[in-house]
Amino acid sequence: MYDVSMSIGSGFGRISRQREGWLDGEVVTPHGIVSVFAQGDSTHDHYSRLDFAYAGRLYIRSFNKRYSPRGLVTKAKQFSREVIEHI
């Protein structure tokens, strides 16, 4: 068994393309990790989703738009900040 620990800063993310038009991954924000997903191509509806677990609750935000990796990072930071501010 190996345990690893590393410092990660806000904006660090692992967003990968699963197939044409489909993205998923995680984005590190100052408030925690947001899971992100986006889909959309010529045969599927455009859709993005953000999942943020905080204080024992799962918060979900979805959009009828497919965001780019950069857009997903921006939306993830905004979403986690808004959740924290409204608790």
Q: What is the residue extent of each domain of the chain?
A: 13-85
What pLDDT shows up at residue 70?
Answer: 92
From the CB of residue 12, how many other CB atoms can be counted at a distance below 10 Å?
14
Report whether pLDDT(7) > 80: no
Reported as a single tens digit per residue, the pLDDT across 14-40 is 887 877 778 999 999 999 999 999 998
Query: What's the pTM?
Result: 0.84
Sort strands 22-29 and 13-19 into parallel, antiparallel or unpaired: antiparallel
Q: Using the 8-state DSSP alphabet, how is residue 61 labeled?
A: E
Sort strands 22-29 and 44-54 into parallel, antiparallel or unpaired: unpaired
- Per 3-state DSSP, the chain is made up of helix, strand and coil in percentages (nearest 5) of 20, 50, 30
Reported as a single tens digit per residue, the pLDDT across 52-86 is 999 999 999 999 999 999 999 999 999 999 999 99
Which residues, listed in sequence order, are joined to residue 30 by a DSSP beta bridge? Answer: none
The CATH architecture to which 13-85 belongs is 2-Layer Sandwich (3.30)
